[in-house]
Amino acid sequence: MPLNIVALIAILSLPLVPTFWAILDIPKRRFASPRKKAVWFAIVSTFPFIGAMIYIILIRRHTEPIS
């Protein structure tokens, strides 16, 4: 029984990985304006998995890292 619980927790927490990655990545990237950065932070925070996947797949490649 405990192995089932551990597996269930792992499966349910897996979608949070892209969310945390996006939340940590957004402040490190240069956006066109501070407002766009705030909007994407709000989107990723409000819609955890879906917002993070949209950010990672579509938006991240159009920004550059802050040096």
Rounded mean pLDDT, 59-63: 93
- Token pair for 4: 């089932």
CB of 40 within 8 A of CB of 55? Answer: yes
The Cα 38–Cα 6 span in angstroms is 35
pLDDT above 70 covers a percentage of the chain that reads 99
Cα dihedral angle (37, 26, 59, 15), rounded to 10 degrees? -130
22-56 tens-digit pLDDT: 999 999 999 999 999 999 999 999 999 999 999 99
